[in-house]
Structure formats: structure tokens, C-alpha cells
Structure 1
Amino acid sequence: MSAPDLVAAELTLIGRITTASNATFVGSIDGAMVVYKPIAGERPLWDFPDGALAYREAAAYLVSEAFGWNIAPRTWLRDGPLGEGMVQLWQEADAAQNALDLVPTDNVPKTGWKQVLEGQDESGRMVALIHEDSPALRRMAVFDVIANNADRKGDHILPMPDGHRYGVDHGLTFHSEHKLRTVLWGWLGERLSDEELDGVDRVSEALRGELGRDLADLLTAEEIAALAARCDRLRAKGRFPGPSGDMPAVPWPLF
């Protein structure tokens, strides 16, 4: 389906995702399944501007494209039955796969997984939060650092049947202040690979050209400058950062 069809053709609502914190709908555009989040349905937040989450989701897609890693599904702004909002191509995750899991602490796999934290579940049992140790998830963690993602929950990672991992729900991104909250802390302190550093370089270069111009319609000048600074800082250190500041290190709930 061509881009003009998705932008101009009628968006028909099919249902509502009731577990989402903001108004979120499943819709169809000429047979293509989409997620639609109208700006009018965004709840006010104390630390993000009102009516800006859809723009940040669109910005996250542009930055994902600059990385070249296909992390965020195609996302754009358009009018819909409830006004302007974010629209994103629907991705059918593989229910048989888990990129993130809670397991008993004595059952943490020795290979292929990274442990993030441990604690007690509602029954008082000791459990560990783990995520897979995969190139796809490492790239998502790099993306989250650069996007300053404040809400990388487990359910915001979509495992696809072919092994690809999509990241979704990027409304809480690109704040000029440090806001990183993520479940993907497993590589803390590890060196970034050459491929990961090349991705950061692609974003830095794109910010000086078309990406920077496109983001000017979605983010403030201060936020774009902070985005560029995060690229420079991560490139200079060359390692996955750890938690910092007064913000919680992980979002809640975790899933």
C-alpha cells in the first residue's frame, strides 16, 4: 500500500485497547490494520507537555529510521474519527515468544539472558526480571538511551515470529531532562559494538540534515539539542550507561 493511501484514505475504528493509559484504538485503513491514538485522548502528565505524545511517537519513528534498525513500526500523524493523532501500522506479535520474563531466582538461565533485578512477587517468592541477550534487543536499548525513553515496559517490546523485535508506545520520549526508565538494563557498562556505534553516528549526522528539519515540526529546539547531546555523549563513552539522577530506573508496572 502506498503512503498517500495510508495518509488520506478513511480510517475506520474497529475496537479500543482498554488497557492503555491513553485513548488507543485499533483501526483499518484500506484493509491495513493500524493503531490510532488521538491527541484529544491523551491524559495530562506532570512532566511532559500536554497534547505532545503523538508528536513524540512520530519523532521516535523518524529516529528509528535514522538508526536503520526498524525498531519503531511505521508511524505518522493524520486526522481520524476523533481528530488528529498518531497512527502506527499494527504488528502481530508472536505469543509463543517472550523477550522479557519474570522467573524464580534459582531458575535464571545461565546463557542467552541478562538479569536486570530481583525481588519478591505477590506470594513472597524471590523472582528475577530477565531479558534476552540478543542483538535486536541491544539495538532497542541503544535507541532508548538516545530517545531518552521514560517508559520501556516489557509489553512495549513486540517479539516477531522471525526474531525481529519492535518497540512501541514511544510517547514518553525526547524530554530535554534525563528521563530514561527501562527494563533493558542487562548490558550496563558493556562496550557498544561497532554496528551500534555506527547507528549512533547515523543519527548524529541525520540531525544535521533532513532529520533535524523534520523533528523541528515535532519537538522543541531544546529537545532536539538534548537529543544531539545524548548521541555525542554515548558515542564518546562507547558503553551502555547505568541509571542516574533521581528518576526511578525502571517503569512501573514492569509489564
Structure 2
Amino acid sequence: MTETTGSGIDLNGPVAKELLTHGRLEVEGRLVDASNVTLFCKIELDGLVGNAVYKPISGERPLWDFPDGTLAGREVATFLVAQASGLGAIPPTALRDGPFGEGMVQLWVDTLEDELVDVRAPGELPEGWRIVLHAHDRMGEPAVLAHADHPGMRELALLDVVVNNTDRKGGHVLAGIDGRVYGVDHGICLHSEPKLRTVLWGWIGEPIPEDAVEKLVGLRADIDGKLGEVLAEHLTGFEIASIASRTEQLLDSGVFPAPSDGRDVPWPLF
């Protein structure tokens, strides 16, 4: 299935890459719910117009556990890992100059209003949804955090393990109009220390599908080759080695992992 932006541009094609890397950005608004400065932009090149998200490095909020000024590069590195492996769908992402200096630019993908992750009463879950945790609502009634069972979400769950995603909220999983499931907002990924926090825990202990195993095998080999060289522009050698280690652990176990002790879901959840 062809992936497109709202203007009908094939996300896998050279035109999209040219637009992303060389298009002129015009800020049209700010996404106010984001913790870092996140700007919605029109992007234009030679009469071709689309939309993009732009996160300038100058607008990154300092974090105690991630080096300052590295979040944009981590977004790009996560896209490169997904692109090289074919594991999960992330909109095309680049590190480039913009109206407020260098930052992460990501092509906008039109999405459906379908909820893929939600907190609901147990009896209100759609058929086939996976329960992540049980809780109670403000009135003391039973509630569950759950998500849809979709092949694209299973791959995002594996990608989260590989890139050590520290903040896979429900709002970071989007239903594209092309039928694919997209992951966005990967600024706090790829730390060398275990920090996995995600809402996509619905397949714990289940075998990793054969097609995903093949992608993990290819990823592990690519880290020692061209992908590793490209990632070195954004990550330390230790962080790159940690990607290889996490990939090997998945291949050795052959199953979706369980959470380790401690905090294993982000907060807030959305």
C-alpha cells in the first residue's frame, strides 16, 4: 500500500525526500500539548506543498537523563532504524535547518480519528483488543488500559524495545488514512541504560512473528555496516552498541518481552 502525505505525496519516493530535506518551512501554528516546542508548518518546494512538524533544538526542554540538544537527533536516529529494518512505520524525518535554527522536521501524515489505545470499562472494549493493565476510574469503577491488535502496532512494540523508547504514550500511535499505524514523538529514545516505558504491552510472552524476526536479523547485521555509520552522526558508539544488544536479546528469546521491575508505562498515558 502506498503511503502518502495529505497532499498525496508518496512517502517512500524521492519527491518526499526532496521536499523534506529542501522544502521551505513556514510556521503556521504550535502544538501546545507537546512538552518541547513543536511547530506545525507548511513545507513547499517547486510548487509542491505539504505539511510537516518542526521541533527546533533551541526549543528542547533540558532533561536530567538525556544530554542537552540531542532529542532531535534521536528522533532522526529512530526513523533511520525503522526505515533500515522495515520494523514499524515512522513518517519521514530529517535533521535540518528551519526558521528557528536546526531541528527535527517530520512530514505530516493524515490520520483517522480511530482510537488505537484507550482506557475503557472492561465490557466496552472492541473485539480483539489487548489489555495492558487493570485499574479503577475516578468513581471506583473497573477500567482497563488496552490497545488494538494490529500487525503495525506489534511491530511498533518491537521497535520500542530495540530503540529503548522511554515515552510511548497512547497519543503517539496514529491510525493513518492509508491503513498503516504510525509511531511519532521519539525524542527520548536510544539511551544506553534500560528505560523502556510503553503502552504497547499486549503481546507479552508471545512468539515474535517470522517476518519480524527476519527484520530483526537484518537490522542486527546492518548496525555493523552502513546503518551504524549513519547513526554515528546522532548517537554515541555505546548507544549504537546498545541497539545491537537489545536486538540480539529479542532474537535470543524469540518472544515479546515482559516489563522489568519498576515503572514500565509512561505517565501520563496519553
Q: How does the TM-score come out when normalised to structure 1? A: 0.95
What residue number does 2:6 align with?
none
The answer on whether the counterparts of 1:112 and 1:134 sit within 8 Å (CA) in structure 2 is no
**Distance in 2 between the 1:243 and 1:252 partners?**
15
User: Which residue identity does 2:85 align to in structure 1?
Assistant: F
What residue number does 1:166 align with?
182
Q: What number of residue pairs does the alignment pair up?
A: 252
What residue number does 1:254 align with?
269
3-state SS in 2 of match to 1:58: helix
Given candidates 33, 36, 59, the residue that maps to 1:41 is 59
The answer on whether the counterparts of 2:88 and 2:152 sit within 8 Å (CA) in structure 1 is no
Q: Report matched runs for 1:234-253 at 5 Å.
A: 234-246=250-262, 248-253=263-268
Q: Cα offset for 1:81?
A: 0.7
3-state SS in 1 of match to 2:79: helix
**Distance in 1 between the 2:33 and 2:199 partners?**
19
Given candidates 219, 222, 228, the residue that maps to 1:206 is 222
Given candidates 117, 120, 128, the residue that maps to 1:103 is 120
What residue number does 1:217 align with?
233
Task: Please provide the CA RMSD for this pair.
Answer: 1.3
The answer on whether the counterparts of 1:93 and 1:160 sit within 8 Å (CA) in structure 2 is yes
3-state SS in 2 of match to 1:198: helix
- 1:227/1:69 Cα in 2 relative to 1: closer, same or farther (>3 Å)? closer
Q: Cα offset for 1:120?
A: 1.5
Unmatched 5+ stretches in structure 2: 1-14
What residue number does 1:154 align with?
170
Q: Cα offset for 1:103?
A: 1.3
Q: Cα offset for 1:51?
A: 0.7
Q: How does the TM-score come out when normalised to structure 2? A: 0.90
Deviates more, 1:4-13 or 1:132-141: 4-13
User: Which residue identity does 2:215 align to in structure 1?
Assistant: G
What residue number does 2:82 align with?
64
- 1:241/1:123 Cα in 2 relative to 1: closer, same or farther (>3 Å)? same
Unmatched 5+ stretches in structure 1: none
The answer on whether the counterparts of 2:95 and 2:103 sit within 8 Å (CA) in structure 1 is yes
Q: Cα offset for 1:5?
A: 4.1
3-state SS in 1 of match to 2:104: strand
1:230 matches 2:230: no
**Distance in 1 between the 2:123 and 2:31 partners?**
36
**Distance in 1 between the 2:195 and 2:87 partners?**
23
**Distance in 2 between the 1:242 and 1:166 partners?**
23
Percent identity of paired positions between Structure 1 and Structure 2: 47
**Distance in 2 between the 1:86 and 1:40 partners?**
11
Deviation track 1:5-30 (CA, whole Å, cap 9, x = no partner) reads 43233211011000000000001121
What residue number does 2:198 align with?
182
What residue number does 1:119 align with?
135
